[in-house]
Amino acid sequence: MSAERAPQPVANRRVLVVEDEPELREVVCAVLEDEGYTVVAASDGRQAVDMACENVPDLIILDMGLPILSGEEVASTLREKLAKPPPILVMSAAGTVAERARRIGAANYIPKPFELDDLTDAVHKLLD
């Protein structure tokens, strides 16, 4: 018998959105909730670490330019604190988003600005 978990229904999939820009955070959360995901949000890196450690999400959508702890620091801290950290989808406006995502071991990345369909496609590929 395989040790892999059986795929969960979308409704049971929990996504942590970490974005300091309130309007973008609200839009991303609303779009993912419309897709059927359970979504929680953090506005800074410290809050993201606390939330992820308290109730480990199935996916973290992580902005890299955050207050208190950067995206890099969030990823590093979660690797230290969690036995099995969730996959990370980086979203960043930085021109080096691919390199930054690779450096933190992210599962994928999406450059800002992005189309909402591109975001939901990336999330579905990582969770479904």
* pLDDT score recorded for residue 3: 42
Mean pLDDT (10-residue bins), the chain, 128 residues:
46 92 98 96 98 98 96 97 97 84 94 94 94
Q: What is the 3-state secondary structure (H, E, C) of 59-88?
A: EEEEECCCCCCCHHHHHHHHHHHCCCCCCE
How many folded domains does the chain comprise? 1
The token pair at 82 is: 């969690």
Residue 40 inside a domain? The answer is: yes
The token pair at 29 is: 């959360």
Residue 4 inside a domain? The answer is: no
CB of 62 within 8 A of CB of 48? yes
Which residue range(s) make up the domain with 37?
A: 11-127
Residue 5 inside a domain? The answer is: no
